[in-house]
Amino acid sequence: MRIPRILLTAPSSGSGKTLITCGILNLLKRRRIEVASFKCGPDFIDPMFHTTVIGTKSRNLDTFFTDPDTTCYLFEKHAAESQIAVMEGVMGFYDGVAGISTQASAYDVARITGTPAVLLVDAKGASVSIAALIKGFAEYRQDSPIAGVILNRLSPMMYSRMKELIERETGVAVLGYVPVLKDCVLESRHLGLVLPGEVEQLQQKLDDLSEILEESLEVDKLLDLAKSAGELTYDKEKVSTVQCGLTYGQKGMLSEPSGDKHGLQKAKNKKVRIGLAQDEAFCFFYKDNLELLEDLGAELVPFSPLHDEKLPEELDGFMLHGGYPELYAEQLSGNRTMLDSIREAVECGLPAIAECGGFMYLHQEMEDMEGRAWPMAGVLEGRAFHTERLNRFGYITLEGAEAFGMETGPIPAHEFHYFDSTCCGDAFLAKKPLSKRSWRCVHSSVTLFAGFPHLYYYGNPRFAEAFIKRCEERGTR
C-alpha cells in the first residue's frame, strides 16, 4: 500500500516538535485533508495533543515494543483511510535505546516504514553552523531518510539567504521556517507537557499558528515529499498478532482467530465487561491496547475514580492506568466509597491491571507533589512517595514470572515516574536493554498485575490474552 507520509524530527528534545507538528496537523485539517498522526516512542501526552487537533485518536509507533513487520502493520492499519500520515519523532533523531543505540529512535521508525524525514532545526543564534549540523545529520547514516529541513525561530529577513546556503552546502531541501512565537508555547510539568485541556484557548492558538505556517512553510513541497514515500511492504505472516492466531479481515483489520492450537484465544462465551478508569487523574493508556482487548472479546466500561461512587456493576475485570493521581490525591482520597469498592473487588478476586499511577492508587498511602500523604485503596501495604528525579526511567523487559497465572514469556515495558514505593513488588525481574542493570518489580497473582511498568500489548499479546481469560473465568462463575 502506498500511503503519503512524513516524519517530523529534530536534533534533540525541546526543539518544538510537538507544537510545530500540531500546527501542521491543524493546517492540513483546515485544508480538508484527511490526516492520520503518530508519535514515535512510548509518550502518552503528545498523542493527546494530536487528537485534540485532528479529532481522531493518534497512535504510537515504537520499535522497542514491536518488530518491524508489526510496526508496519500498525501504521497501515491506522493510516490506510487517510490522505497523509504525519509522524512526530522522539528525542533527537538518532537517539534510541539505552542512549547508545538507534533502536526505537525516530530514525529507526522512519527507516522501517520507509518514511521521508523533515528535520526541525533551531536557527536562533546561529547561521552557517546550521548547515554543518544539517549535513552531519543527513550523512550520519548511509540510509538516512532526512529529505527536508524546517528552520525554527528564524527571522523572515534571513530565510531566503539561509535557504540558499543550506541547499547549496548540504543538498537537503529547505521547506520553510517558523518565526519566533511569543504567544504560542506549550508548558510542561514533571511528566512532560501539560494536558491539552489545561491549555487556555488551545485551538485558537493552533489556528493562529497554522495561519503563520501557511505563509512561512512551503506546504505544497512538504506534501510532495510525503507523496514521494514508496510502497509500504512487510510480511503479514510475521506480524505478532497473526502468529498468535488473530487473522486479517478486510482493510487489514484483525478478525476471528485462525484456529491454530497455539493461537491467541478470544473470549468464547460472551463479551467480558472490563472497567476502564478514565478521568483527569487516570488518562495514560495506549489506544492500541484497548482495541486489542476489544478484538479479544472485551467490552470496555469507563468509570472515574475521581467522580463516581463505586465501580460499575457486573464487571469481569478492571484497569487502572497511569496519569496524574498525585495532582488529585486529596480528591481521590476523599472518595472513600470508590476506594472501598476497588479494595473489596480486588480482595474478592476481580482481575485487575494497575500501571504506574494506578499502582500508586492501590497503596495504603500516596503522597502528593508537596509530600503530603493521603490514604488510598489499601490493596497493597506500603506508601507511594514523591522523589526529586525520574526513577528507573526507560525501556525494560520483564522476565521470570507468570502474568495472571499464565506463562507469557518476556514482556517489553517502559517506566517513567517521579514517584517510588515502599512495596514495588518482586514477581518479575526488570532488565534494562544494553545494560547489566536490573531490579525486581510488580505484584503478580492469578488475578492482579500491579506495578510501575507501562505495557504495550502488541509487544507481547499473550499478556492481553491472559487477562481476558481470567476475566472470562470470572464472568462464568
Q: Where are the alpha helices (DSSP H) in 140-255?
A: 156-170, 202-216, 219-227, 240-243
Calpha distance 89→84 (Å, rounded): 16
Which whole-number Å values give the CA distances from 164 to 131, 282, 437, in the listed order?
Answer: 10, 49, 48
Task: For cell 512532560, name the residue.
Answer: 192
Name the phi and psi angles at 474, rounded to 5.
Answer: -60, -40
Residues 6+ apart with CB under 8 A from 138: 119, 144, 146, 170, 171, 172
Tell me how many degrees the CA angle 272-75-70 measures, rounded to the nearest 5: 70
Catalytic site includes residue 356: yes
Which whole-number Å values give the CA distances from 15 to 20, 124, 178, 342, 379, in the listed order?
Answer: 9, 11, 12, 42, 42
Calpha distance 392→415 (Å, rounded): 7
Residue of 356, 424, 441, 471 with catalytic role: 356
Task: For cell 505563509, name the residue.
Answer: 215
Cell triple for 278: 478514565
Question: Using DSSP, how many helices (H) and how many strands (E) does the chain show?
Answer: 14, 28
Given a contact cutoff of 8 angstroms between Cβ atoms, the answer to whether 151 and 269 are in contact is no
Residue type, 340: D
Residue 255 CA to chain centroid, in angstroms?
24
Which whole-number Å values give the CA distances from 365 to 311, 330, 354, in the listed order?
Answer: 20, 11, 15
First to last CA, the chain: 46
Active site residues: 356
